[in-house]
Amino acid sequence: MERNRWYKDAFIYQIYPRSFKDSNDDGIGDIKGIIEKLDYLSFLGIDAVWLSPVYKSPNDDNGYDISDYRDIMDDFGTLDDWKLMISEMHKRNIRLIMDLVINHTSDEHEWFKKARKDVNSPYRNYYFFRKGINGKKPNNWTSFFGGDAWEYNPDTDDYYLHLFTKKQPDLNYNNPKVMEEIKSIINYWLELGVDGFRCDVITLISKDKDLPKGKWNVALVGKEHYLNGKHIHEYLHELYRDAFSKYNAMTVGESVLMDVETAPYYVKEEREELDSLFTFEHMDVDNFFGVKYLMRKFKLKRLKKVLSKWQDKMYGIGWNSLYLENHDQPRSIGRFNTKLEYHDLGCKMLATMIYFLQGTPYIYQGQEIGMTNGDFKTIEDFKDTETLNILKVSRKMGIPKSYIMKAIFKRSRDNARTPMQWDNSANAGFSKGTPWIKINDNYKSINVQDNIKNKNSVLNYYRKLISIRKNNDIVINGKYVEHYKQDKNLYVYSRVYNDKYILVISNFSDKNQKFDLMDEFKNKKSECLLANYDDVVDINSFLLRPYEARVYYFE
Ligand code: ISL
Ligand code: CA
């Protein structure tokens, strides 16, 4: 079947259901809450939703620990609610991308419950159980959330591997039965009408069956034995052949530590594996060694270099994803040198800068109104398992609490998980009950309702941007060219397609910056398509004001 590559001209909106909208006032967002807000998503103009996991789960990692892949989490509703949700989405021409978490299950999944009790269980080899060595863990691998990657299992006196929390045991794809189970789960959801999958940590699923000792590393000891592992491409091709492609399902693979040399092996169309990737290099420009808690001063030149590299090297080869936020990252406003004093300008500038690149744009819930990091006061305000684990582990390592707390306030995943700010009523209109996590105090000034009313709001800017980008050949297919490469404050790039151009100019500083139009554009007919200040006149030479952003069309 010829693939319909609709995602190349789609804006995708990520919903983190726990914090989106609570319909029954138990303080937890749910599926009926999502249904209530679908008209809002149509108003925004998006084409698809990526829904973070809603499967049955004990919620150790908010749904990224699945105990039943074929049913819905009690907190969120029922399978019937879900069926209603997808049909209401499709009615509005909104596609649904589900989260596919198949590197690990919950320890409360039936497979694992049976496996851990009995060495002869048929499920035993679905996971990695190993004997300890001389009273020590089976190897030296460490977990993504800090600490080692093994948990003792008293019933069978051995250990099991978990790259995330101990309630997320890793699946063993060296056992072909695991692959069969997973394909059948994927086909189950495709039969129910799902349009695609965001594949959680998909590049980790092929692990060396011998689980060899890892080389020393600042983080993720052992990664050379599972990151882009030996059989990963066979596995992905098999999923493509026997599941995704049969339903024309779109896929985006989350790929931690991906580099631009390796990415094509996953996303070249003729390889028939994944359609696109979420990469992290641009999110790691303000940390050291890809470890977000090792904070590093933001420098625009580093960001430009990374974005340009991915734009250049993937052009005509593979498809990028464009994002600045998701449920694992802190909010973008206040990051990347933007300041809260310039809230609206900063939000609009960041959106302009990222969404005219080539790739599929993603908006994380709340980003479109410029939601900010959580205003957490004490450690009790944090709920995220990773945050709590990092605190525990770093305390054990003797790292001063003051340093860790500072890093947590800035970088904890909970920063993006505070409830969606719908209006200025109690609890921001998210719930009439007590929200599961603290709501930001600024909901009285930052909320959807006010943003709808104010024609200069961040939300209305996003709507305009989305409509400009739609069906625009230059943005979809144009070649990327960077200008002002050495500039520390300006990010300037153009896109060109069939002798038509788009030029994007963004000021990442709170000072005026001089801009002179490049010679090649002078004498061309120009039009300003989008700007975050409203008195935009001259193009040939002007001062860009703090966080100013402009998009021009030339022919
Ligand atoms: O968030 C991170 C570090 O703070 C990342 O390393 C993150 O763990 C990594 O990107 C994998 O994320 C995905 O899988 C995790 C889950 O906790 C995340 O929410 C999910 O996006 C395990 O399923
Ligand atoms: Ca609820």
What is the distance between the alpha carbons of residues 314 and 433, in angstroms, rounded to a whole number?
47
Q: Whose CA is nearest to atom 11 of ligand 1?
A: 201
- Domain assignment present for 206: yes
- Residue 80 known to be catalytic: no
Is the domain of 442 the same as that of 392? yes
Is the domain of 93 the same as that of 135? no
**What pLDDT does residue 1 have?**
66
Is the domain of 261 the same as that of 367? yes
Is the domain of 540 the same as that of 489? yes
**What pLDDT does residue 195 have?**
98
Whether the Cβ atoms of residue 223 and residue 142 lie closer than 8 Å to each other: no
Is the domain of 367 the same as that of 308? yes
The residues, any chain, with a CB within 8 Å of residue 295's CB and separated by 6 or more, are 286, 287, 407, 410, 411
How do the pLDDT tens digits run along the chain, 555 residues long?
689 999 999 999 999 999 999 999 999 999 999 999 999 999 999 999 999 999 999 999 999 999 999 999 999 999 999 999 999 999 999 999 999 999 999 999 999 999 999 999 999 999 999 999 998 999 999 999 989 999 999 999 999 999 999 999 999 999 999 999 999 999 999 999 999 999 999 999 999 999 999 999 988 999 999 999 999 999 999 999 999 999 999 999 999 999 999 999 999 999 999 999 999 999 999 999 999 999 999 999 999 999 999 999 999 999 999 999 999 999 999 999 999 999 999 999 999 999 999 999 999 999 999 999 999 999 999 999 999 999 999 889 899 988 899 999 999 999 999 999 999 999 999 999 999 999 999 999 999 999 999 999 999 999 999 999 998 999 999 999 999 999 999 999 999 999 999 999 999 999 999 999 999 999 999 999 999 999 877 788 788 999 999 999 999
- Domain assignment present for 166: no
Is the domain of 147 the same as that of 204? no
328 lines ligand 1 (CB under 6 A): yes
- Residue 254 known to be catalytic: yes
What is the distance between the alpha carbons of residues 443 and 452, in angstroms, rounded to a whole number?
14
What is the distance between the alpha carbons of residues 480 and 3, in angstroms, rounded to a whole number?
25
Is the domain of 222 the same as that of 296? yes
Boundaries of domain holding 126:
110-161
Is the domain of 242 the same as that of 187? yes
Is the domain of 454 the same as that of 549? no
**Residues paired with residue 50 on neighbouring β-strands, in sequence order:** 14, 97
CATH assignment at residue 406: 3.20.20.80
Is the domain of 349 the same as that of 494? no
Whether the Cβ atoms of residue 279 and residue 258 lie closer than 8 Å to each other: yes
- Domain assignment present for 518: yes
C-alpha distances out from residue 334 to 294, 344, 544, Å: 17, 11, 20
The residues, any chain, with a CB within 8 Å of residue 455's CB and separated by 6 or more, are none
- Domain assignment present for 456: yes
Closest by CA to 461, choosing from 293, 333, 285, is 333
Q: Whose CA is nearest to atom 6 of ligand 1?
A: 144
Is the domain of 123 the same as that of 254? no
- Domain assignment present for 169: no
61 lines ligand 1 (CB under 6 A): yes
Predicted TM-score of the model (pTM): 0.97
Q: Whose CA is nearest to atom 12 of ligand 1?
A: 201
**What pLDDT does residue 130 have?**
98
CATH assignment at residue 540: 2.60.40.1180
Query: Among 61, 195, 200, 325, which one carries the catalytic annotation?
Result: 200
Is the domain of 453 the same as that of 501? no
> Strand order of the sheet with strand 158-161?
129-130, 158-161, 150-153
Ligand 2 is an ion; its neighbours by CB within 5 Å are 22, 24, 26, 28, 30
- Domain assignment present for 473: no
Number of domains in the chain: 3
**Residues paired with residue 127 on neighbouring β-strands, in sequence order:** 171
Ligand 1 atom nearest to CA at 280: 10
- Domain assignment present for 269: yes
